[in-house]
Amino acid sequence: MVLQVENLHTHLHLKRGILRAVDGVSLSVGEGETLGLVGESGSGKTLTGLSLLRLLPKGSGRIVEGSIRLDGQELTTLPEAAMAQTIRGRRIAMIMQDPMTSLNPVFSIGDQVSNPLRNHNIAQGAALRSKVVEVLTQVRIPSAEKRLGDYPHQFSGGQRQRIVAAMAIGCTPRLLVADEPTTALDVTIQVQIIALLRQIQADTGTGIILITHDLGVAASLCHRIAVMYAGRIVETGPVRRIYKSPSHPYTQALLAAIPRLGEKRSRLQAIPGQPPSLIDPPTGCRFAPRCPARMEKCAEQPPIVQLADGHEAACWKLA
């Protein structure tokens, strides 16, 4: 296993109270595997990703419990200096949603792509330059050599996201955390970035965590899926199991709520209500207030039920 996360709890200390953004998340990613972390806004999927890099909001964000191991090495107790020198950007890299905010508008792209390589002593001098050209070519920036001096605004949206990907993969990380990497892009560009991520993985064998709310993107890229709701993973399994035989009522409701191409229905199946506040979450199953299969038992925390090889869901109905 490249990454093993156990019982992770990340809290945000806000003026309104303690927000239990990640509340007991366990997951793993293997070599060359893509895990989709799927959920709605506020479900804790982004904070799970940021916890892995220990990039939580300064002052308010804290990992309070649990373990994160990268190739067996515990990260939650690693000193910040070691985290910065040996992990962040080196062995775990991140691609964020909006390429315009991850690129600095006043530095050339040659500068920005060489930064992680220089900081982590991957290459210097002429070797650094040729390495930068190599990664930019790998993400298919045309005539990369001539464009090293260009600035982000001189590239299109799709190309900018390719440059962000080049920054992330330069140091051949073991794990790539991609947070909504295609959400800001048009559909014909989105498909190109999906293809690029697949190619990067085939070339380098990196593990990928794809954080997304888009069940279509997740289906097209992931080997396994973890569905998050209100700070917890409610269902995990191989991609085919999750889409063909979803078991948790939330996963079922989510898949039923989206319109699909080629399938005309008169009405969409809406999920009533809205997700709970994570400052004062309901006890027991957090989906219970919206769940069509709710029982009395749901007031207690549901057990994690093994349904098949690698397929599990946290629901009393399945117990």
Partner 1 sequence: MLALQNVTKHYKTRRGTVRAVEGVSFEVRPKSTLALVGESGCGKTTIAKMILQLERPTAGAIAFEGANTATMNAAALKQYRRQVMAVFQDPYASLNPRLRVGTIIAEPLLAHENPGRAAVEKRVADVLDIVGLPATAARLYPHEFSGGQRQRIAIARALALRPRLMVLDEPVSALDVSIRAQVLNLLADIQQEFGLTYLIIAHDLALVEHFSDDVAVIYLGRVAEAGPTAEVFAQPRHPYTQALLAAVPQPDPDHVLNEAAAAGEIASALDPPSGCRFHPRCPLAIERCRSETPEPRGTPHQAACHLVEA
Task: Please give the residue ranges that form the binding site for partner 1 (CB under 8 A).
Answer: 40-41, 156-159, 186-192, 194-195, 213-220, 239-240, 243-244, 253-255, 257-262, 264-265, 267-272, 274-275, 290
CB of 241 to partner 1, least distance (A): 9
Q: Residue 137, class by beta-carbon neighbours within 10 Å (0-12 exposed, 13-18 middle, 19+ buried)?
A: middle
CB of 140 to partner 1, least distance (A): 11
Q: What CA–CA distances, in Å, run from 5 to 20, 194, 253?
A: 17, 25, 27
CB of 171 to partner 1, least distance (A): 27
- Which of 89, 158 has the CB closer to partner 1? 158
CB of 131 to partner 1, least distance (A): 26
- Which of 50, 291 has the CB closer to partner 1? 291
CB of 77 to partner 1, least distance (A): 35
Question: Are 45 and 27 within 8 A, CB to CB?
Answer: no
Residue whose entry in the numeric block shows the structure tokens 């690029």: 196
N-term to C-term CA, the chain: 28
Task: Count CA atoms within 13 Å of residue 239 on its CB side.
Answer: 17
- Which of 130, 156 has the CB closer to partner 1? 156
CB of 112 to partner 1, least distance (A): 21
Q: Residue 81, class by beta-carbon neighbours within 10 Å (0-12 exposed, 13-18 middle, 19+ buried)?
A: exposed
CA-based nearest residue to 62, from 29, 30, 34, 20? 20
Q: What DSSP line would sit under 225-255, residue for residue?
A: EEEEETTEEEEEEEHHHHHHS--SHHHHHHH
Q: How far apart are CA 188 and CA 203, in angstroms?
A: 23
- Which of 77, 266 has the CB closer to partner 1? 266
Longest CA–CA separation in the chain, Å: 68
CB of 91 to partner 1, least distance (A): 29
- Which of 126, 187 has the CB closer to partner 1? 187
CB of 15 to partner 1, least distance (A): 15
- Which of 79, 272 has the CB closer to partner 1? 272
- Which of 87, 155 has the CB closer to partner 1? 155
Q: How far apart are CA 188 and CA 190, in angstroms?
A: 5
- Which of 166, 253 has the CB closer to partner 1? 253
> Going along the chain, which residue ranges are E strands?
3-14, 17-29, 34-38, 61-70, 73-74, 92-95, 175-179, 207-212, 224-229, 232-238, 304-308, 311-314
